[in-house]
Structure 1
Amino acid sequence: MDKKPTLVTKGRYELKYRGNKCLNCDHPLDISDKYCPNCSQANSTKKLVLKDFFDEFFSNLINYDSKLLKTLYALLIKPGTITKDYINGKRVAYTNPFRFLLSLAFIYILMFTYDNNLYTWDDLGLKDRIEKTGPLSYSFNNGETPKDSTNIQKQTEEALNQLDSLDNLEKIPIPGIQSIDSLQSIIGQGIRAEAKKDSFMLANPRKYLESIQNKNAGGLGKRMEFFFTFLQKDSIKTFQEAQEKYGANTSWRNRIAFNGSKSSLKAMEQPGTYVNNTIGKLPLVIFFFLPIFTVFIWVVYIRKKYTYTDHLIFSFHNQSLLFILLILSLIIDTIFNTASMGIFFLIFSFYLYKSMRRFYGQGRVKTIVKYIFLNTMFAFLALFVIIVLFTGSIFTY
C-alpha cells in the first residue's frame, strides 16, 4: 500500500495545487517537489491572491530573523567558528557575510551621523574660523583690491618694525644668521616676495593667471590659490565666469583647480555637513579597503590551506562584529550619556585575538606576533584610506 506524502503544506503550496511540470521552464516535476530543481520557482498552479503575498512576506521575514539570530549568536559567543562553518559549507543557517557587513555598516553610519553634533560646526561663520586658524590667502584692506603696492609695503614695514623689540634674538645662535639685522633682512625678503606676488595677483588677475597658464608652468597649487582667492572675494562663481573675466583656459588643470577650490570653500563654510557627508561614504570605502587588507592576512597565513576568499570571509565576519559593538556603544552612550567606545574597542581587541586563534589554530606566541603585525598594517592602511577619502571629498563636495 502506497503511503501518501506527509509534507507539511499550506496556502498555494498545498498538494492539490502541485503540478507535474514547472510553469516557468517546463521541467518535469513530482508531486513532492515544492520547488523546481531546475529554476527554483515554486511548484504551484494556484492563482495568486493578496493573502499569498502576506504569507510569503512573513515567512521570509521569520526565516531571515532565524538566520540573523544564529549569525549574531555565532559571532558573539563563538569567535572564528562561524567562518569555519561557512567555508566548510554550512551556509544555510547564516546570513551572507558580505550583505550582513554592508547592512551593519549602513546602520552604524546612519546612527552616527544622526546622533552627532557635527552639524553645529556649520554655525561658525567662515570669518570666525579664519580668525582662529589663520587666513588661507593674504588679506588686503578687508578684501579690497589695491591699485598699487603702498599698502603692502606699509604692512611689511610694520612687520619688520615689530622685530626691533626682539633684543634677545641676538643671544640665540642661529646658523647662517650673524645678527638681528640679517634676520630682519631674511624675513623681510620673504614677506616682500609674498606680498609682491599677492599684489600682482590682485592688481592684475588676468595677467597673473596668464603667467601661470603659460606653457602649463603653474601647478595645481598655484591655480587653486588663484581660484580660491577670487571665489572667496565673490568676483567669480562659475568656471565660465573665470574664463570670461580672467581668461582661464579649459585645461584639465584649471577645471580640477577650480572645482577643488570651490569645494574647499564650501567645506570651510559648512564643515559639519562636509564631515558627515564624507563619513557617509565609509560603508562603500570599507569594501575597497578590506580586500586590500586581506592580502596581508593571506601572506601571513600563506602556509595554511585557506584560499584568499576564506581569509576575506574571516575579515567580513570580524568587521561585522566590530560594527555590532560600535552600534551597542552608540546606543549605550545615547541612553546613559557616557563614552563607552574605548571599552568596546578593548572587547573587540580580545575578541579578534580569540578569533584568530580559533580559526587558524596556532599557538599563543605566533598568534600574538601576527596579531600585532596585522593590526599595525590595518592602522596604517586605515589612516591612508581616511586621508585619501577626506582629500578626495574636497574635490567632490
Structure 2
Amino acid sequence: MANKPNLITKGRYELKFRGNECLNCSHPLDISDKYCPNCSQANSTKKLTLKDFFDEFFSNLINYDSKLLKTLYALLVKPGTITKDYINGKRIAYTNPFRFLLSLAFIYILLFTYDNNLYNLDDLGLEDKIEKTGPLSYGFNDEEASKDSTNIKEQTEEVLNQLDSLNNLEKIPIPGIQSIDSLQTIIGQGIQKEASKDSFMLANPRKYLENIQAKNTGGLGERMEFFFTFLQKDSIKTFEEAKEKYGANTSWRNRITFNGSKSSLKAIAQPGTYLNNTIAKLPLVIFFFLPIFTIFIWMVYIRKKYTYTDHLIFSFHNQSLLFILLILSLVIDAIFNTASMGIFFLIFSFYLYKSMRRFYGQGRVKTIVKYLFLNTMFAFLAMFAIILLFTGSVFTY
C-alpha cells in the first residue's frame, strides 16, 4: 500500500481547519491542500489567535534569516555565482535582489546620516553673511573677504594701468594693441549696463518683472535672480505674496524659479540639513540609475544569451555587495576612528572583475577591456545622476 502524505500538522494548519475553497481568491481546494495553489495563502478557516500570529511572524523571520545568510555567503564568497543560480531558477534559497539592494541602501543611508557631522554646517550662519544689497550677491561680510575685494580691485587697476602704458608705446609694433581701448570700452559698458539693470530692479521691481514676463520665452536666469533678491530683501514667503506685491503671473517659469530661489536660500541657511536630505534620496536615484547603466552592460555582452533582466539582476547583486562593503567601512571607521573606505573600494574593484569573469565566462583580456569601459560609463552616469540629484534637491528642498 502506497504511503499517504502526512496531512496532520499543528495549530491552524490542522486537518479539521481545512476548507474546500480559498478564502482569499475563492479557488477550489482539496482537503489535502495545505496552501492554495493559486495564491499561496494557507488553507485554514481557523480564526487567528495571538499565538498563531506570533508563530507565523517568527517562522517568516527565521525563513528570511536563512535566505539572508545564504545570500550574504554567496555574495561575499562566490562572485557571480548567485546571479547564475538566480537566473537559472534557483531563487527560493536567496532574497529578492531588488528588495535586498534597497534594504542595504536604506541601512547605509541611516548609518551615514547618523554618524556624520553634516548637521554642524547649519551653525555656520551662511544666510546672515549673504549681502542683501544686490541680486545674487554671494559676497560675505567678513574681514578677509573685504581684504580680498580690496586686493582684487588694486590688482585690476594695476593691470589696466599697464595696458594703458603698453598702448602708449606706439613705436613697438604689438599686434592687437590698438584694440585695448576698444576692449576697455566694452568692459566698461558691460559693467555700466549691469549696474543700471540692478538699479532698475531695486528701484522698480514690479516694472522690472513685467519686462521679463513680456519676453514670453526664456528668462529663467533673470527670473531666478529677481526672486532670489527679493526673497532676501523683502522676506516674502509664498508665491501668492510675490503675485500680489510684484505682479508675478502664474506661469510655470515664475513658479519654478520662485521655488528654486526659495529652496536655494533655505539650502544656504541649512547646508547640513540639505545635504542629509539629498543623500536620503539615494535609493530613489539607484532605482532609476541602475536600469540605465544596465543598457550598457547589455550592449557590451549583446552576443551572450542573456536577457536585459539577467543583466539587471547582475547589477543589483554587485551594487548590493558595494553597499555591504560601505556599511562595513562605516562600522569600522566608527569603532577604530580610521578611514577605510578606499580599501573597501579596492576590494570591490577586484570583486567586480571576478564577478564579470565568472558570470559571463570570458577571458582575461576581453573582461578587462569591458571592465574598464563599463566602469568609465558608470562613473560618467554616476556623476550625471549626482548632479541631477543635487540640482533637483535645490528645487524641491
- Same fold by TM-score, threshold 0.5 exceeded? yes
Cα distance change on mapping 1:174 and 1:375 into 2, 3 Å: farther
Partner of 2:253: 253
Q: In structure 2, what residue type is equivalent to 1:66?
A: S
Q: Specify the alignment match of 1:28 in structure 2.
A: 29
1:137 is matched with: 136
Task: State the one-letter code of the partner of 2:136.
Answer: S
**How does 1:240-319 map onto structure 2 within 5 Å?**
240-319=240-319
Please give the per-residue CA displacement for 1:197-241, whole angstroms capped at 9, x wherever unaligned: 111111111221122112325610001101111111135322222
For 1:9 and 1:262, the matched residues in 2 are separated by 63
246 and 159 in structure 1: CA distance in 2 versus 1, 3 angstrom threshold = farther
User: 2:2 and 2:286 mapped to 1: Cα distance?
Assistant: 57
SS for the counterpart of 2:195 is helix
Q: 2:236: which partner in 1? A: 236
The alignment covers a number of residue pairs equal to 379
Superposed counterparts of 1:356-395, under 5 Å: 356-395=356-395
* Match of residue 144 from structure 2: none
- Farther off after superposition, 14-23 or 115-124: 14-23
1:163 matched to 2:162? The reply is: no
Q: 1:250 to 1:7 in 2, by over 3 A?
A: same
Kept in 2, the 8 Å contact 1:22–1:29? The answer is: no
Shift of the alpha carbon at 1:182? 6.2
Give the aligned partner of residue 43 of structure 1.
Answer: 43
1:96 maps to what in 2? Answer: 96
Report the equivalent of 1:345: 345
Report the TM-score when normalising by structure 1.
0.87
> Counterpart in 1 of 2:206?
206
State the secondary structure of the residue aligned to 1:216: coil
Separation in 1 of the partners of 2:129 and 2:174? 34
Determine the C-alpha separation between the residues in 2 that align with 1:171 and 1:139.
35
CA 1:239–1:311: 2 relative to 1, 3 Å: same
Deviations 1:90-148 (A, max 9, x none): 000000011111111111111111211111111111256648xxx863599x9xxxxxx
1:126 touches 1:269 (CA, 8 Å); kept in 2? yes
1:280 deviates by 0.8
Local SS of the residue matching 1:67: helix
C-alpha distance in 2 between matches for 1:284 and 1:214? 38
Alignment identity in percent? 83
Over 3 Å counting, the alpha-carbon distance change for 1:129 and 1:94 in structure 2 is farther
In the TM superposition, residue 190 of structure 1 has moved relative to its aligned partner by: 2.9
Kindly indicate whether the alpha-carbon contact (under 8 Å) linking 1:294 and 1:312 is maintained by their aligned counterparts in 2: yes
Given that residues 122 and 273 in structure 1 are in contact (C-alpha distance below 8 angstroms), is that contact kept between their aligned partners in structure 2? Answer: yes
**Deviates further, 316-325 or 254-263:** 254-263
Scaled by the length of structure 2, what TM-score is found? Answer: 0.87
Closer, same or farther: CA 217–159 of 1 in aligned 2, 3 Å: farther
Output one character per residue of 1:44-69: Cα deviation in whole Å (capped at 9) or x when no partner. 34343211111111111000000000
Is there any run of 5+ residues in structure 2 with no aligned partner, and where? Answer: 142-148, 168-172
Task: State how far apart, in whole Å, the 1-side matches of 2:278 and 2:138 are.
Answer: 30
Question: Counterpart of 1:257 in structure 2: which amino acid?
Answer: T
Deviations 1:316-339 (A, max 9, x none): 000100011011111111111111
Indicate the residue corresponding to 1:65 in structure 2. 65
How far does the alpha carbon of each residue in 1:215-270 deviate from its partner, in whole angstroms, 9 at most, with x for none?
A: 32561000110111111113532222222222212222111111111111111111
Shift of 1:392: 1.3
How far the C-alpha of 1:6 sits from its partner, in A, is: 4.1
Residue 193 (structure 1) shift: 2.0
Query: 1:186 and 1:92, CA in 2 relative to 1: closer, same or farther beyond 3 A?
Result: same
Shift in CA distance, 2/381, structure 1 to aligned 2, threshold 3 Å: closer
| d(CA) in 1 for partners of 2:205, 2:259 | 18
Equivalent residue letter for 1:210: E
| Alignment root-mean-square deviation, CA | 3.0
Distance 2:309 2:279 in 1: 27
CA contact (8 A) 2:74 2:81 kept: yes
Task: State the 1:10 CA deviation.
Answer: 2.4
Q: In structure 2, do the counterparts of structure 1 residues 317 and 217 end up closer, same or farther at CA, with 3 Å as the change threshold?
A: closer
CA distance in 2, matches of 1:21, 1:393: 51
Where does 1:104-143 land on structure 2 (aligned, <5 Å)? 104-127=104-127, 130=130, 137-138=136-137
Q: Which residue of 2 aligns with 1:150?
A: none
For residues 298 and 373 of structure 1, the distance between their equivalents in structure 2, rounded to whole angstroms, comes to 13
Contact 1:206 1:247 in 2 (8 A): yes
